[in-house]
Amino acid sequence: MLEQIFPRGHRSYLQSPVANLLEDFARWLVDEGYMGRTLHGHLFRLKQTLEGAGNITAESKFSAADLGALFAMPSAELRVQKPYRHTQHRFERFLLMRGDLLPSSRTGRFDTVLDAY
């Protein structure tokens, strides 16, 4: 799938330590109707984020809190943060659909109310 999406630049995606995860995410995005620049952008941002973390493999598991920390960009401008947050939400949805999203441990005083809601 990555070869079809990135005809000229697919090698960097296929040689990534998270190549299998990128391939599965790409297939899911296409099934969800994403294409063109939006599809390219999500895959690029996910690759950049996961490789930037350094210790993530295709078998890594994530919670919503983990993803929030991974995609956090404290010094970036809002216009840069928005696409990354959208990719974070798409990736979180992808993991949820696969059954690979770990439950978050909540410790706030309103968490029981929020969980019930």
For residue 68, give the amino acid letter. Answer: G
* 58-107 pLDDT per residue, tens: 778 888 888 888 888 765 565 567 888 999 999 999 999 998 888 766 66
pTM for the complete prediction? 0.81
pLDDT for 68 equals 87
* 21-59 pLDDT per residue, tens: 999 999 999 999 999 999 999 999 999 999 988 888 777
pLDDT for 113 equals 74
CA distance 101 to 88: 12
User: Helix 36-53 vs helix 19-31: angle between axes, to the nearest 10 degrees?
Assistant: 150
